[in-house]
């Protein structure tokens, strides 16, 4: 996640997880679970109640601490663990998919994600939760990035779990979705129908769910109340433009009365917030143009990223988002991509328009 560089009060998304369970929409409870990512201290898990029990959206990080907190919140809400019949994962980041595998193991719950869902831990070939573990897959953060720099990597605890993959899969298995949905598919949750919306940008597989009957949007990380989602440079051709398109689509939804984000508090003005988020990224594009023109020469992604981010944020994540913005400019005919120089693997960019 990225924040604007100006000094402001602490963002909603940085508030510590509260044990309080609140009803935020008809038959929808908000449960906050602890996370320790940069700029994030909680993830919202939503419990959608119906006659069968509950469906849980984004059940937190892998590992015993998060799972213990989830069980404590469910107990406070009067929901036995065995009543969990479905898990919905909005996208392939560990603070969202982490608890899905153990819930599947403990309760037999159906696991729903977008058709393109895939985690860092997945092997090269698909396998079910009950299959024997295959050899560990190649770690994606060891691969060369499209821009030639260091690949963003998960937090240290996630990397340690990766190294101990066989043990981790027995105790906290990573999820293999039992149902993969496409855009516009309908899912029945909380006693009513929700429309699946594929919203790529933050990740390729990001999924929002919209309930037109009550005007409720489960927005995941696609639309957050006070920070902007990270746009990964590894997200394919013009990930930023795909994000803009899906952001506009969500902002134009008719009848949204309540937005339930994965971090921060519920809010109501989805149209205004999507415009704010787009404006933030357009400001970044302008900053990159000015930085490149000011240098007057081709520059690496890492060098240009230092014009977008504060020093505390410099590194692979900042480089990844900078690359996404540079590729957007290049594909719009406003920048030139120059091959790596001899003895280097890093691409360079020069604004031309």
Query: Distance between CA atoms of 12 and 31, rounded to whole angstroms?
Result: 15
Give the mean model confidence (pLDDT) for residues 198-204: 96
Q: pTM score, two decimals? A: 0.87
Flag whether pLDDT at 2 surpasses 80. no
Tell me the CA distances in angstroms from 81 to 35, 67, 249, one per residue in order.
21, 11, 36
User: pLDDT tens, 295-352?
Assistant: 999 999 999 999 999 999 898 889 999 999 999 999 999 999 998 887 777 899 999 9
Closest CA to 308 of 2, 86, 39: 2
CATH 1.10.10.10 fits 286-351, yes or no: yes
Residue 37 pairs with which residues in a beta bridge? 40
The CATH architecture one would assign to domain 12-277 is 4-Layer Sandwich (3.60)
Q: What is the 8-class DSSP label of residue 222?
A: T
Mean pLDDT, the chain, as a whole number? 88
| Confidence band, pLDDT 50/70/90 cuts, at residue 195 | very high
Q: What is the pLDDT of residue 287?
A: 97
Is the model more confident about 149 or about 83? 83
Residue 162 has pLDDT above 60, yes or no: no
| pLDDT on residue 123 | 47
> What is the pLDDT confidence band of residue 156, given thresholds at 50, 70 and 90?
low
Q: Is residue 151's pLDDT more than 90?
A: no
Element (H, E) at 330: helix 316-331
Using pLDDT thresholds of 50, 70 and 90, give the confidence band for residue 128: very low
Q: What are the tokens at 339? A: 């091959």
| Residue of higher predicted confidence among 277 and 146 | 277
Range 272-295 average pLDDT:
97
**Which pair of tokens denotes residue 223?**
């639309």
Task: Provide the 10 A C-beta neighbour count for residue 163.
Answer: 10
30-76 confidence digits (pLDDT tens): 999 999 877 899 999 999 999 999 999 999 998 899 999 999 999 99
For residue 325, what are its two tokens? 């913005």
Count of C-beta atoms within a 10 Å radius of residue 71: 15
Domain residue ranges of the chain, discontinuous segments joined by +? 12-277, 286-351
């Amino acid at each position: 996640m990225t924040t604007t560089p100006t000094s402001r009060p602490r963002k909603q998304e940085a508030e510590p997880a509260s044990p309080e369970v609140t009803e935020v929409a008809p038959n929808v409870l908000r449960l906050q679970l602890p996370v320790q990512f940069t700029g994030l201290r909680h993830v919202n898990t939503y419990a959608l109640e119906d006659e069968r029990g509950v469906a849980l959206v984004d059940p937190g990080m892998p590992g015993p601490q998060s799972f213990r907190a989830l069980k404590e919140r469910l107990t406070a809400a009067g929901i036995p663990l065995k009543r969990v019949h479905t898990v919905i994962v909005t996208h392939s980041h560990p603070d969202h998919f982490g608890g899905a595998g153990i819930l599947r193991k403990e309760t037999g719950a159906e696991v729903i994600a977008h058709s393109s869902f895939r985690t860092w831990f997945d092997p090269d070939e698909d396998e079910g939760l009950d299959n024997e573990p295959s050899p560990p897959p190649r770690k994606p953060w060891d691969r060369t990035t499209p821009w030639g720099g260091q690949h963003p990597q998960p937090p240290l605890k996630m990397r340690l779990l990766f190294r101990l993959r066989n043990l981790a899969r027995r105790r906290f298995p990573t999820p293999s979705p039992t149902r993969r949905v496409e855009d516009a598919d309908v899912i029945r949750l909380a006693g009513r129908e929700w429309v699946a919306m594929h919203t790529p940008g933050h990740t390729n597989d990001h999924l929002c769910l919209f309930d037109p009957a009550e005007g409720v949007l489960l927005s995941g990380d696609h639309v957050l109340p006070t920070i902007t989602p990270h746009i990964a440079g590894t997200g394919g051709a013009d990930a930023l433009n795909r994000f803009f398109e899906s952001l506009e689509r969500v902002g134009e939804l008719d009848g949204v009365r309540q937005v339930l984000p994965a971090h921060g508090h519920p809010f109501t003005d989805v149209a205004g917030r999507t415009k704010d988020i787009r404006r933030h990224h357009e400001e970044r594009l302008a900053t990159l143009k000015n930085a490149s023109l000011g240098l007057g020469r081709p520059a690496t992604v890492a060098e240009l990223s230092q014009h977008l981010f504060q020093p505390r944020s410099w590194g692979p994540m900042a480089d990844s988002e900078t690359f996404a913005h540079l590729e957007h400019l290049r594909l719009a005919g406003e920048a030139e991509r120059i091959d790596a120089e001899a003895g280097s693997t890093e691409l360079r960019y020069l604004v031309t328009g």
